[in-house]
């Protein structure tokens, strides 16, 4: 079990416990965190988030499907889409439907409301 803190515009929206291996999007939905999403299947790109945790900076392996969706959504460039490992930093954009919770507490920054 680990703690996830959801933020938007620097304000904490929720702090919840999650089990290692849970998909981040499922945790957000279960706890009614206002995370934008449409498909929940990793194809639309609307659940983009930024993750901060104690293990950063590091590198992270990102799957081809997630990279393609982020490229199509205009959230990364072609060079980043071509790389299967990325810097794991708080600035790195990820999709909540592709992220499995780890045993390290996370701060999850949600995009601004539009």
User: Rounded to an integer, what distance in angstroms lies between the CA atom of residue 40 and that of residue 26?
Assistant: 9
What integer pLDDT is reported at residue 68 of this predicted model? 95
- Please report, for residues 61, 71, 95, 103, the alpha-carbon distance to residue 46 in angstroms, rounded to integers and kept in the order given: 20, 12, 8, 25
| Token reading at 73 | 């959504």
Per-position pLDDT tens, the chain of length 114: 999 999 999 999 999 999 999 999 999 999 999 998 877 677 788 899 999 999 999 999 999 999 999 999 999 999 999 999 999 999 999 999 999 999 999 999 998 874
């Amino acid at each position: 079990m680990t703690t996830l803190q959801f933020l938007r515009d620097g304000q904490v929206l929720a702090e919840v416990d999650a089990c290692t291996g849970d998909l981040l999007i499922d945790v957000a939905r279960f706890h009614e965190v206002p995370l934008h999403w449409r498909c929940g299947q990793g194809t639309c790109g609307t659940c983009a988030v930024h993750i901060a945790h104690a293990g950063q900076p590091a590198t992270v392996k990102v799957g081809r499907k997630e990279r393609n969706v982020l490229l199509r959504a205009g959230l990364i460039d072609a060079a980043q889409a071509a790389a299967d490992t990325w810097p794991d930093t708080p600035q790195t954009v990820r999709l909540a439907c592709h992220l499995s919770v780890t045993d390290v507490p996370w701060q999850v920054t949600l995009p601004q409301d539009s």
